Structures are given as C-alpha cells and as structure tokens.
C-alpha cells in the first residue's frame, strides 16, 4: 500500500465521523432535532429518527419536511441525514408529483443529466428491460411494481411485473412454497456501468400502491441456514460501509488498491447466465453472451473501470461498492489484471457475503406514501418477494446518472 493511501486509510477508518455528526446524535436511537450548532442546521425544524440500531447505519425517518418545497437549510439537513443513515424515509408523500420527485432527486446533483440507465440498448435481451415503464411526461421517473393498471400518469393498460427469482436464479423455490418463501432477487447498485453514465448518487422510491398483510421468509440457500423474515415486497438494503468494515485487513488493503472492470453492455452480457441463490452475483458456467455477440462497443472508454471502494462525501467513511452480477475483471495496484471470471466472482463474493447476513439487512416495511431516498454510492439493495397475480403494487423510481464518477479512496488523498 502506498504511503499516501496508508494515511487516508488511517485517517478515514479510525476517525470516520466528523464531530458535528456525533454531536447531533445521528448515531443514537433517539429522535433528534438538529440544533443551531453549525451553519448546516440553522433554522431547520426537521426531525430525524433513526429506525434501526445505531451500528447498522441504515434507515431513518425524516419528519417536519415538505420534500417538494424545501429551503436550502432543510435540504442540507436532508442531505446530511441521507449520507449518515444511507436510507431515509419521509412518510405520507402520496401527493408528490413525478415532477416533484425528479426535481428532488436532482437537488442532490444539479448537474446530473439523464435517467441513470439512459436509453436501454438491446432492450429485448437486457435483464433490466421487463422491470420498468417510463412516465411519458417525466422520463427520469420509472414505474415499477406488479399487476395490471388501466391508467397511471399517461401510461395506459400497463401490466407491471415484479421481478421473480425464478427468471433469474439458477435454482428456484418450488411453486407450492412460492408465496411463503422467497429469495433476494439481485443485490445491486443502480447504475448503467457502461458508457458515459456515472452511477447515480441517490435513488428515490415512492410507494404509490402497496398490497399489505403477508410476510415471507427469505431463504439464502447458499449452504448456510440463514433465513430472514420480511414484509411482502420489501426492498432490502445492506451497508457498503459495514461491508468494508467487515473485511479482513488483507482484504481492506486489496479493496483500497484495486479496481473492478465491468462488462461491456453489462445487462445484456449476463442475460444468458443465472444468479447464485443469495442474489449476490452470477454462477460461473461460461454462459455469458460472447463479447462479439454483444451490441457494438463504439469506444473502448465506454467500458467502466471503477474503484472498489467509494468514499462518503459527508462522513468520509469507505463503502465496498461492487455490482456483483456484472463485474468482469479486477485490476490490481501493480497493473496485473485478474481476468479469470470464476475467480473474480469468488473474490467479490467472499468480500460481500458476510455483510448480507440477516443481522445486517434492513428490509423496509413499505406503506403507501412512503418516499424513500437511498445513498446509491453507499448501499447495495434488492427487490424481494413474490406477489400473487391479483396483488397490485405501484412504485415510482427516479435516479440520474451522476455528474462525476464515484469518489475513490486514492482520489481522496490529494
Ligand atoms: Fe435498484
């Protein structure tokens, strides 16, 4: 490890929290009202209530806020809450318009341009294609969910399909148990990971219609007995910061100094492969779409090579942020490239799996009107669960390709 990186590592890993955040009680389980302790909190009446145990670092309710009409002071508090708790929820936002949602999402990155995935290339083969419907008058906002909708925001007679693990996993839960037991569908970062589209900073999710009542049990089915009881149709989150903190010292050195290369047209590339049962990456069977059978690679620079570790812009903490399904190669500090795909996947899975253990997962219990914002540079997330055909679920999702690439650990040393 280089000397400058050692200093960054020492500085950021041992003293990860700015004193003002600790002073504000961000890590207690008690609600708090930010006080006039710094410029950032002046005049704000926002209340931030952590949802989970403080060491999870995931989840807070934000109250006394109107996300469509926020002062700069309020927005600063909201942004600090987001980057501290990584997943935040504002209740009762059913009246938020798609335009409001897009503008709120853009406030985190005013120079951001298009929807985070841009225009899907080769939609017929991409694994992303079936899951999204674009709102015609607000193309940064997508509708996702389950069931038939005669009309919604200019979309007519649409059928939404909640992604089901049987379409994506190598092994499946038998049909007879399908309503009781389920899987994590696909742990991921919201990102195109190709071309000029940088991973979005923030994703917003609005629960428009939520079928309620049932609970399901997530089976990891990965040789462990791990299971997790979750609400129907939860979105599950894990912390990239916890993922980094859980690494051995050797793995941390490796992660801080290595980069990952993603496949060209990554979501087409994996369209002929199947996932591990824990949703954390693909099974290696040599079934990926061959590079010469992908859509053309117009520019070699379109292939994204990103740091493994991304820095939180508020707390300075490091998150292990790797999209496990579409990673293809690992670039080491000395210039060596690991291009044995099975080996790459094993290395990444070994680093990520401890942090999706049941005790580290936050499974959001959706209620209609919930507006959830998450730090897409600091968490992995996945849809979960299987709906019956008559269970209608409608969500709106928005993210924007970031105006700059993720902050890596080496860049932060300058
Ligand atoms: Fe997502």
pLDDT of the residue at 2: 46
Ligand 1 centroid distance, CA of 187 (Å): 8
Check pLDDT > 90 for residue 8. Answer: no
Nearest to 33 by CA among 52, 49, 57: 49
> What's the rounded Cα separation, in Å, for the pair 369 and 59?
17
Answer with the residue of higher pLDDT: 248 or 214. Answer: 248
User: What's the gap in Å between 205 CA and the centre of ligand 1?
Assistant: 9
d(CA 346, CA 245): 19
Distance 130 CA to ligand 1 centre (A): 13
| 377 alpha carbon – ligand 1 mean position (Å) | 12
Residue 203 C-alpha to ligand 1 middle, in angstroms?
8
User: Measured between alpha carbons, how far is 226 from 211 in angstroms, rounded to an integer?
Assistant: 26
Ligand 1: distance of its center to the CA of 381 in Å? 6
Going by their DSSP bridges, the two strands 327-331 and 259-262 should be labelled as antiparallel
Confidence (pLDDT) at 42:
44
State the distance from the centre of ligand 1 to the C-alpha of 21, rounded, in angstroms: 28
> How many Cα atoms occupy the beta-carbon half-sphere of 261 within 13 Å?
19
Rounded to 5 degrees, φ, ψ at 310 are -115, 140
Mean pLDDT of the chain: 88
CA 285 – ligand 1 centroid, Å = 25
Q: How far is the CA of 190 from the centre of ligand 1 (A)?
A: 5
Compute the distance from residue 188 Cα to the ligand 1 centre, in Å.
6
Region 337-353: mean pLDDT is 98
Q: Report the separation in Å between the CA atom of 148 and the middle of ligand 1, taken as the mean of its atom positions.
A: 21
Burial (CB count within 10 angstroms: exposed 0-12, middle 13-18, buried 19+), residue 90: buried
- Spatial distance between the Cα atoms of 150 and 143, rounded to a whole number of angstroms: 13
CATH superfamily to which 48-399 belongs? Clavaminate synthase-like (3.60.130.10)
Burial 296-312 (b: 16+ CB within 10 A, else e): eeeeeeebbebbbbbbb
Check if the beta carbon of residue 128 is closer than 8 Å to that of residue 208.
no
352, two tokens:
């990520």
Q: Is residue 7 pLDDT above 80, yes or no?
A: no
pTM summary value: 0.89
SS3 (DSSP) at 394: strand
Taking the centre of ligand 1 as the mean of its atom positions, its distance from the CA of residue 372, in whole angstroms, is 12
Ligand 1 mean position to 163 CA, how many Å?
Answer: 11
Give φ, ψ of 223 to 5 degrees: 95, -5
pLDDT tens per residue across span 266-308: 999 999 999 999 999 999 999 999 999 999 998 989 999 999 9
Ligand 1 (ion): residues with CB under 5 Å are: 190
């Amino acid at each position: 490890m280089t000397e400058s990186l050692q200093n960054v590592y020492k500085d950021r890993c041992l003293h990860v929290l700015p004193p003002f955040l600790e002073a504000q009680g961000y890590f207690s389980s008690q609600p708090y009202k930010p006080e006039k302790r710094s410029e950032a909190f002046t005049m704000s009446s926002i209340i931030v209530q952590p949802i989970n145990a403080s060491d999870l670092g995931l989840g807070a309710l934000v109250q006394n806020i109107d996300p469509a009409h926020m002062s700069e002071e309020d927005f600063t508090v909201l942004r600090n809450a987001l980057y501290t708790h990584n997943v935040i929820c504002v209740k009762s936002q059913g009246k938020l318009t798609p335009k409001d949602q897009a503008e709120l999402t853009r406030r985190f990155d005013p120079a951001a341009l298009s929807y985070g995935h841009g225009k899907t290339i080769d939609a017929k083969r991409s694994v992303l294609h079936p899951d999204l419907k674009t709102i015609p008058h607000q193309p940064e906002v997508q509708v996702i969910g389950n069931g038939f909708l005669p009309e919604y925001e200019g979309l007519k007679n649409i059928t939404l399909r909640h992604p089901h693990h049987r379409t994506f996993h190598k092994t499946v839960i038998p049909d007879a148990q399908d309503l009781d037991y389920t899987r994590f569908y696909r742990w991921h970062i919201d990102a195109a990971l190709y071309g000029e589209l940088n991973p979005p900073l923030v994703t917003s999710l609005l629960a428009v219609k939520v079928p309620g009542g049932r609970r399901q049990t997530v089976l990891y089915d990965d040789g462990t007995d791990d299971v997790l009881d979750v609400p129907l149709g939860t979105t599950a989150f894990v912390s990239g910061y916890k993922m980094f903190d859980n690494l051995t010292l050797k793995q941390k050195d490796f992660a801080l100094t290595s980069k990952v290369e993603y496949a060209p047209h990554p979501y087409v590339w994996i369209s002929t492969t199947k996932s591990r049962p824990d949703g954390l990456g693909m099974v290696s069977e040599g079934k990926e779409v061959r590079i010469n059978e992908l859509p053309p690679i117009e520019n070699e620079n379109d292939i994204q090579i990103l740091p493994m570790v991304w820095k939180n812009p508020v707390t300075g903490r490091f998150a292990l942020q790797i999209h496990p399904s579409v990673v293809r190669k690992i670039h080491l500090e000395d210039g060596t490239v690991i291009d044995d795909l099975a080996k790459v996947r094993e290395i990444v899975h070994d680093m990520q799996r401890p942090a999706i253990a049941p005790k580290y997962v936050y499974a959001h219990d959706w209620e209609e009107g919930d507006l959830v914002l998450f730090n897409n540079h600091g968490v992995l997330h996945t849809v979960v669960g299987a709906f019956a055909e008559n269970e209608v679920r409608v969500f709106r999702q928005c993210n924007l390709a970031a105006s700059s690439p993720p902050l890596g650990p080496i860049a932060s040393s300058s």
